Chains A and B, each alone.
Chain A
Amino acid sequence: MKPLLRLIPYLLRYKTTLILGVGTVVGSNLFTVVQPLFLGKAVDEFKLGVETHTYVTSDLLVWAGLIVGFSLIAGIFTFLTRQTIIVTSRNIEYDLRNDLLEHLQRLPYSYFQNTPTGDLMAHATNDIGAVRNVLGPGIMYPSDTLLTCTLVLTLMFFQDWQLTLLSLIPMPLVSIVVYRLGKVIHKKFDERQEQFSKLTTRAQENLSGIRVVKSYVREEYEIGRFEKLSSDYLDKNLVLARVQSIMWPLMFVLVGLSLVITIYFGGLKVIDGAMTIGTLSAFISYLVMLIWPMIAFGWVMNLLQQGAASMARLSAIFDTQPDIRDTEATDRSVTAIAGRVEFRNVTFRHRGSERTVLQNIDLIVEPGTTLAVIGPTGAGKSTLVNLLPRLYDVTSGQLLIDGLDVRTIPLDILRTHIGYVPQETFLFSDTISQNIRFGAFNAPEEELLKAADISQISKDVDDFPNKYGTMVGERGITLSGGQKQRTSIARAVITNPSILILDDALSSVDTHTEEEILRRMRVFMKGRTSIIISHRISTVKDADMIVVLEDGTIVERGTHEDLVALNGRYASLYRKQLLEKELVEL
């Protein structure tokens, strides 16, 4: 149950409402409890009337009116209970979900690479739901139970403390059962939620890859996989149901045991003349009053255990510390970036991986110049540029921007001054205009058009009936490969960055358009530091410096002319691409 303690700050936020809510629980209880009293009086009155042959209609009407009146007041209290406590549980659910997203937003790229999306979605809906379930009934019923038990037990104690103690004998058993069962429920529920996450993840993967699934006619296989997970989920649910179903009946039997003990020992006392039959009847009716609260208690214990299991899962996310963030070392005085980039003996390894992706990189890019990176697939080019906006932090060595270690530059400043076109395009299901303005939502229309012109998405957009208002599908489906990529370029350009990074950003663009973009880019890049990754010599050859990266190390560096003259890797690549041309000419 410890994980639930985390909810205390949330509860405190609504403490006034909650206290009021508990008050209304007391109120509605009191007004409900006395109703049988009125009924008894009415019955007595009626009996009297029949025996004495007098009209008692008006008296009875008073009692009837009181019952209705009290029920009305109790009803108002019940209404208020729901409006306070249950509403609060929804408010807390809202807060929790917001906080979850806010926390996720601070987690580094590597976290999302290693955590299935479906998993996180299951947390955000199912687990938060289970936690919320605790809050309503978890507050309402315990206060109910506590109140009734205290009232009833006090009354009982005053009647006959010995018999009360006797009747309470099964109670320790109750707590043992609750404790033991609770632990099992916690575990089983946790397993169930785990499986639910797997199910969600599977669905999410299948749907994201539906084009591949369909192309390769893997529908049946996918259905089979999903069915397997669903059926495991079914089993886990049934195991949970088996445990959970014990709670209620067992509570019932245990309370029954109390009743039996009371009747037996109370009965003996009555027979021996140590107690009146009236007291015994009263005792029995008191105990009966305890049945419902005890059952509710069992039910709430179930909910609490589930909520605790879910909260533990959520806590695991909340406890993941964002390791890329502003710290005490952050130099708040940095407000702008000129664009000098320096790699000082940088080595990088992914966490939990043996492989060194980048090794002893030393590199300086002067402000306003262009660096081009070329190298085989998997050489570490993307990793190298990912260090700049701090998607990763270096393992050893130092990355400096304007002479400052990037880790001391406020993340906000750093990232707003970097315009990044990732190798894989990701667009949101929104309009083209919103997608381009993603990082500069206040950008005026001219800026939008300018960015669209530089990236040459403009000519496509002009052909769309809704122009920039055209909605794109999730991730940009409904746009062609090149259209997506160019939208992504426009998105980076519009932010007016000091450092521009193009990670193979023209790979899906035809030669003609590429040429048009590069021509405009050359103008745009004046005065900005730019880093361009490409496999094409034609794209990189004009750079102020070209580095050839291989297996994480820089094997060659220099201008195009230098490298051709060097007659190494670059020159061989160059010859190959020339050869291509000759082949085409054949």
Chain B
Amino acid sequence: MQEEEVLGKAYDARLMRRLIRYLRPYKRHVALGILLSLLVSAMEAIRPYFTKLAVDTDIANGDKNGLLVTILLFLMVMIVRGLLQYVNAYLTQWIGQKTIFDLRMEVFRHIQSRSMRFFDRNPIGRLITRVTNDVEVLNDMFSSGIVMVFSDVFTIIGIFYFMFAMNAELALVTLSVLPFLFWGTFLFRKKAREAYRDVRLQIARINTFMQEHITGMLVDQIFRRERRSYGQFTEINAAHRDANIRSIFYYALFYPAVDLIGAVSIGLIIWYAGANALEGTVTIGTVMAFVQFNEMFWRPIRDLSEKYNILQTAMASSERLFQLLDDTTTIAVAEHPVPLDSVQGKVEFRNVWFSYTPATDGTQSPEWVLKDVSFSIQPGQTIAIVGHTGAGKTSIISLLSRFYDIQKGEILVDGIDIRRLRPADLRRHLAVVLQDVFLFSGTIHDNIDLGNEDIPADRVKAAARIVGAQRFIDQLPAGFDAEVKERGATLSVGQKQLLSFARALAYNPRILVLDEATSSVDTETEFLIQAAIRKLLTHRTSIVIAHRLSTIQTADRILVLHKGEVRETGTHAELLALNGIYRRLYELQYRHQEQAAQ
């Protein structure tokens, strides 16, 4: 598991461009949104006009009817404005939500296609943060953010135009403060970005911690670790808070600074007007207009700086998202994958070398987990793999499923190198009872067929019967529709294992792999299962891993794996005759029973 690294230099422009791409499908809506925002602000400007009209014309003339007409008109404009504003508010939300939906699905899809190495490296909590919170944060920016930024920019440009048209010199004086604004923004951006990035990092850490300690709460409680875990959590939580407080600090400085620069701008107008009053180049009307312009102009700028906050947050989380989306740890798919419609079931490992930590620079020899492993299984055969714990048995299975790619050698299915197959095609013909049992929340039935509609209900039932799960399922009030909690929390471990076994059978594979599939099941049930699947296995290739030698007695061949190497292979009798590791294992296992029998 890796701690997340702090990101390097940020390229705002590139990030922004990439973010905006997500708006492309909705560009019409965005345009409409911008138009509506402009309309709404324009109507906002009409208000003083109506007031002026009512006061200067109707009231001054004593025209009661005229007054009524004016204010009714006014009311209507207000209502229309309200409606437009409503439509606009909804529209921008719609755009934002649609966009983050797209993005969320893209991220999720992307994660689904990662290889196992990726999941070894990334804690679940962090990935959850990406799919949920980090995407969520972008909502503000995609909804109100972009639309407002555009309409604000348009407003500013419009005001620029009027100002220059009216008095270019005064306009320049008014705007002479802008470099300060840019400079301030530049400073702020740098600092704020660091803080916001830190916030994203810490949120992921909080989630990772939460996810791990909630799932492991039992262990925390049994070992009385609550206080320490709490202490660890408060540290992460405090780091998150402090990162936020830092961003508040920069923001708290920035916001009033923008206002102050605006006030300086007004001061400059007044000063300039005073200096030029007698030359007659500045009239009172111009001053009034410029003061108003300044206000109208500063509002969007202030808005923009408010939006800047949203933007910075969005940048920080989109960086993380794009980093994830740019991740390339997939299983490489051949350019022209060989289609694999049916499988005979021949499996062959040829001089396979494998390490979980491949040396990237090639200087140091990696920790080999499998060393020069070769064996072959004919269609319909059963082979067993035995060996001490940590010998590499599960790793062989992971390689066959192509969860990882090997460093040297070849793995062939029906004579085809599995690297030339699409992983999904390969896995479809393979069913593995994983050593680590996992159940999903849902029903018993869902857990056996995994939502696969091609598997008929009676096959699900038959699979459950074969593994002897029928008995306990029948005892549940809802039978196959009984609810399974997260990870099967309300089932016994053996029951979970049976379901996981039934799942593999229901998929009716050509190649069946059992990795310690009955390690938590009682002997009686284990016996029954063995008897029941014997018939089932006759036409299938199967690989059985078990520590209990009884489980593998009928195997056509037994492979003894020791520290990543195949040390012995042969039938049970051959291996006993060999007088090696297998024989020692065998004798150990049965010595007790003999002693007990005496």
B237 touches A207 (CB 8 A): no
* A144, B327: Cα distance in complex, Å: 48
* Cβ–Cβ contact A203 & B131, under 8 A: yes
Q: What is the chain A residue whose CB lies nearest that of B129?
A: A125
A486 to chain B, nearest CB (A): 7
A584 within 8 A of B: yes
B597 lies within 8 A of chain A by Cβ: yes
Give A563-580 as 1s and 0s: 1 = Cβ < 8 Å from B's Cβ atoms: 010000000011011101
For A82, list chain B residues within 8 Å (CB). Answer: 248, 251-252, 255
Q: Contacts A377-B495, A576-B524 hold; do A78 and B256 have CB atoms under 8 A apart?
A: yes
Residue of B whose beta carbon sits closest to that of A477: B120
Interface check B588, CB cutoff 8 A? yes
B310 to chain A, nearest CB (A): 14
Give the one of B128, B432, B596 with max A CB within 10 A.
Answer: B128
Question: Is B578 positioned at the interface, with any CB of A under 8 Å from its CB?
Answer: no
Q: Compute how far the CA of A135 lies from the CA of B29 in the bound complex, rounded to whole angstroms.
A: 34
Inter-chain pairs besides A67-B266, A203-B108, A535-B522, 19 sampled, C-beta below 8 Å: A46-B287, A71-B260, A94-B238, A105-B220, A105-B229, A107-B217, A113-B489, A114-B490, A200-B132, A214-B427, A216-B427, A223-B109, A263-B51, A377-B521, A478-B120, A508-B516, A510-B585, A535-B523, A560-B596
Contact, CB under 8 Å: B124 / A376: no
With beta carbons under 8 angstroms apart, the residue of B109, B125, B244, B435 that contacts A481 is B435
Whole-angstrom CA separation of A223 from B107 in the bound complex? 11
B334 proximal to A (CB < 8 A) = no
The residues of A that contact B278 with a CB separation of less than 8 Å are 49-50, 53, 55
B255 touches A78 (CB 8 A): yes
Chain B residues with CB under 8 Å of A248's CB are 85, 89
Let me know if B97 and A241 touch, CB within 8 A: yes
Interface size class of B (residues with CB under 8 A): 35 or more
Docked complex Cα distance between A536 and B524 (Å): 11
Is residue B358 within 8 Å, beta carbon to beta carbon, of the partner chain?
no
Q: Hey, what's the 0/1 contact readout for B263-284 against A, CB within 8 Å counting as 1?
A: 1101110110111011000011
- Contact residues, B443-490 vs A (CB, 8 A): 450-452, 472, 475, 477, 485-487, 489-490
Q: How far is the CA of A234 from the CA of B103 in the complex (A)?
A: 12
Of the listed residues A39, A378, A412, the one surrounded by the most CB atoms of chain B closer than 10 A to its CB is: A378
B6 at interface, CB cutoff 8 A: no
CB pair B249 A83 closer than 8 Å: yes
Q: Within 8 Å of chain B (Cβ to Cβ): is A20?
A: no
The docked-state distance in angstroms from the alpha carbon of A509 to that of B136 is 45
Residue from B58, B116, B436, B526 having most chain A Cβ neighbours under 10 A: B436
How distant is A28 from chain B, measured CB to nearest CB, in Å?
8
> Does A267 sit within 8 A of B, measured CB to CB?
yes
B248: contacting residue among A86, A204, A206, A564, CB under 8 A:
A86
Binds A, one of B153-161, B370-378, B388-396: B388-396
Q: Is A205 engaged at the interface, CB distance under 8 Å to the other chain? A: yes
Tell me the minimal C-beta distance from B206 to chain A in angstroms. 7
Q: What CA separation (Å) do A484 and B438 show in the bound complex?
A: 16
A277-285, A340-348, A399-407 - the one binding chain B: A277-285
Compute how far the CA of A216 lies from the CA of B439 in the bound complex, rounded to whole angstroms: 13
Give the contact stretch, choosing among B10-18, B180-188, B208-216, B533-541: B208-216
What chain A residues lie within 8 Å of B577 (beta carbons)? none
Bound together, the chains give a CA A495 to CA B256 distance in angstroms of 58
In angstroms, Cα B240 to Cα A101, docked, is 15
A577: which B residues are within 8 A, CB to CB?
A: 523, 550, 593
Question: Which of the residues B83, B93, B252, B401 comes within 8 Å of A237, measured between beta carbons?
Answer: B93
Chain B proximity mask over A506-537: 1 for CB below 8 Å, otherwise 0: 01111111110000000000000000000111
- With A78-B259, A268-B64, A578-B597 in contact, do A105 and B111 touch (Cβ < 8 Å)? no
Contact B218 A426 (CB under 8 A): yes
Q: How far is the CA of A339 from the CA of B438 in the complex (A)?
A: 35
A217 within 8 A of B: yes
Interface of chain B: mostly helix, strand, loop or mixed? helix
B486 touches A205 (CB 8 A): yes
Cα-based distance from A315 to B486 in the complex (angstroms): 23
A105 to B287: give the CA distance in the assembly, Å: 66
**What's the interface size class on A, roughly?**
35 or more
Interface string of A239-277 (1 = CB under 8 A from B): 001101110111011001101100110011011000001
Q: Is the CB of A480 within 8 A of B389?
A: yes
Instruction: Tell me if B498 is interfacial: C-beta within 8 Å of chain A.
Output: yes
Within 8 A of B (CB), among A80-132: 81-83, 86-87, 90-91, 93-94, 97-98, 101-102, 104-107, 109, 112-114, 116-118, 120-122, 124-126
Q: Is B224 an interface residue (CB 8 A)?
A: yes
Choose from B112, B222, B226 the contact partner of A219 (Cβ within 8 Å): B112
Given A105-B221, A105-B226, A264-B71: A125 touches B596 (CB 8 Å cut-off): no
Closest B-chain residue to A32, C-beta based? Answer: B259
The answer to whether the Cβ of B570 comes within 8 Å of any Cβ in the partner chain is no
* A214 close to B89 (CB less than 8 A): no
A sample of 5 inter-chain contacts (CB < 8 A) reads A60-B271, A117-B214, A216-B507, A429-B212, A580-B523
Contacts of A112 in B (CB 8 A): 214, 217-218, 489
Chain A: which residue is nearest B118 at the CB level?
A210
A350 to B132, CA, bound (A): 34
Minimum CB–CB distance for B478 against chain A, Å:
12
A97 — nearest CB in chain B belongs to which residue?
B237
Known: A112-B218, A535-B521. A43 touches B249 (CB 8 A): no
Q: Which 3 A-B pairs have the closest CB atoms?
A: A482-B389, A75-B256, A377-B494
Contact B67 A267 (CB under 8 A): yes
Task: Say whether chain A's binding surface is mostly helix, strand, loop, or mixed.
Answer: helix
Quick check: is B9 within 8 A (CB to CB) of the other chain?
no
Is A335's beta carbon under 8 Å from chain B?
A: no
Minimum CB–CB distance from A580 to chain B (whole Å) comes to 4
CB distance from A207 to the nearest CB of B (A): 5
Q: Is the CB of B81 within 8 A of A252?
A: yes
Known: A105-B230, A416-B224. A507 touches B492 (CB 8 A): no
B26 within 8 A of A: no
B493/A71 in contact, CB under 8 A: no
> Among B51, B216, B284, which residue has its beta carbon within 8 angstroms of that of A426?
B216
Whole-angstrom CA separation of A34 from B221 in the bound complex: 60
Contact partners of A252 in chain B: CB under 8 A: 78, 81-82, 85
- Which A residues lie within 8 Å of B284 (CB)? 43, 46-47, 50
**Given A209-B440, A245-B90: A61 and B218 interface contact (C-beta under 8 Å):** no
Cβ–Cβ contact A508 & B435, under 8 A: yes
A155 within 8 A of B: no
Q: Which residue of A lies closest to B269 (CB)?
A: A64
Q: In the complex, what's the smallest C-beta–C-beta distance from A586 to chain B, in angstroms?
A: 8
Q: Are A245 and B217 in contact (CB under 8 A)?
A: no
Chain B residue contacts of A75, Cβ below 8 A: 256-257, 259-260
* A107 vs B230: C-alpha distance when bound (angstroms): 14
B485-A439 in contact (CB<8A): no
Question: A109 to B248, Cβ gap below 8 A?
Answer: no
Q: From residue A567, how far is it (CB to closest CB) to chain B in Å?
A: 14
When distances are taken between beta carbons in the complex, the residues of chain A under 8 Å from B589 are 511, 538, 581
Nearest opposing residue in chain A for B356, CB measure: A478
Q: Are B523 and A382 in contact (CB under 8 A)?
A: no
Shortest Cβ distance from A243 into chain B, in angstroms? 10
Task: For chain A, residues 452 to 506, give those with C-beta under 8 angstroms from any C-beta of chain B.
Answer: 460, 463, 465, 471-475, 477-478, 480-483, 485-486, 491, 495, 504
A94, A97, A486, A584: the one within 8 Å of B549 (CB): A584
